A and B are shown apart, each in its own frame.
Chain A
């Protein structure tokens, strides 16, 4: 027998702090596996956000910078333009990217800066204890919309892939899900494609991953992943929203 699946060398040995069943861990693994398979070791710089993934610099086995809340795309732009030969990625959550950092992501995308952004959409602010996020679903409860989000007072969820797809700059935009095995395998392909675009110099690539938050959704890990595969996917349809040949 030979090994068909093992931990990638692009993740450090540090055990991750994420809550049990949180699919951030899967997202980290997919990014790391893709970087390993694409053979870019020694030419990678990642940017961690502020949020649950703030400690990502302890997990990705490459040079890392930790950016101010919402500013990872700007930091990544500075890194990329300082050494365009490097593969540069920003890893962000929905509060980081779709709320405080919405200007940075839109302008990095419309500039077409040749970076890859991994966007983890779990419809909640995790690190700070479960507040409503820009992608919180209508009716979904959070600590700042305790009766469930309603459009009149809390506004509507933002569909980031669709938003960015209206821009000319991006070369590749796909939304994937981490809710089940089939989806995770598709997500891996998307990440590989996004990084390949960067390697080929096609410009800004973006992968949104629907992800779970068992703790702040008050669900078991299994309930949370099925919430991703069902309610989340209904609101945020999967698929490729932009692809430039």
Chain B
């Protein structure tokens, strides 16, 4: 009932969103990277997202848009 979308080109793969997510459904990809060469964050299990926006709260680069 929540949904996150990532602005890939703004992500720096810092992982702060990964730690902040209470549902532990985010991860920094090991394969997908953006134009700057950063491995970017992604959501592994969209159904479990509760739209709490903890990830976006800890994101320093305004990568994540959250819907609920």
- Touching chains A and B, CB distance < 8 Å: yes
Given contacts A181-B54, A222-B19, whether A5 and B66 have CB atoms under 8 Å apart is: yes
Check B66–A4 contact: CB distance below 8 A: yes
Question: Contact: B53 with A4, CB < 8 Å?
Answer: yes
> How many residues of A sit at the interface, in one of the four size bands?
20 to 34
Contact B53 A25 (CB under 8 A): no
Say yes or no for A11: interface residue by CB 8 A criterion. Answer: yes
Q: Is the CB of B57 within 8 A of A185?
A: yes
Q: List CB contacts (< 8 Å) of B8-27 with chain A.
A: 9-10, 12-16, 19-20
Report whether B64 and A22 are in contact in the complex, using a CB–CB cutoff of 8 Å. no
Asked if A202 is an interface residue, CB under 8 A from chain B, the answer is no
B44 at the binding interface (Cβ < 8 Å): no
Asked whether A25 and B19 contact (CB < 8 A) given A4-B53, A5-B53, A15-B10, the answer is no
B32 at the interface (CB under 8 A from A): no
A181 touches which one: B3, B20, B64 (CB < 8 A)? Answer: B20
**CB–CB B9/A15 < 8 A:** yes
B56→A21 contact, CB < 8 A: no
Chain A residues with CB below 8 A from B19, complex form: 222, 225
Do B65 and A21 touch (CB < 8 A)?
Answer: no
Residue of B38, B61, B66 touching A16 (CB-CB under 8 A): B61
Verify A2–B58 contact, CB threshold 8 A: no
**CB pair B61 A5 closer than 8 Å:** no
Closest Cβ neighbor of A4 among chain B residues: B68
Residues of A contacting B60 in the complex (Cβ-Cβ under 8 angstroms):
16, 18, 21-26, 29
On whether A222 and B61 interact (CB within 8 A), knowing A1-B3, A5-B56, A181-B20, the answer reads: no
Using a CB–CB cutoff of 8 Å, the interface residues on chain A facing chain B are 1-8, 11, 15-16, 18-26, 29, 180-181, 184-185, 214, 220-222, 225
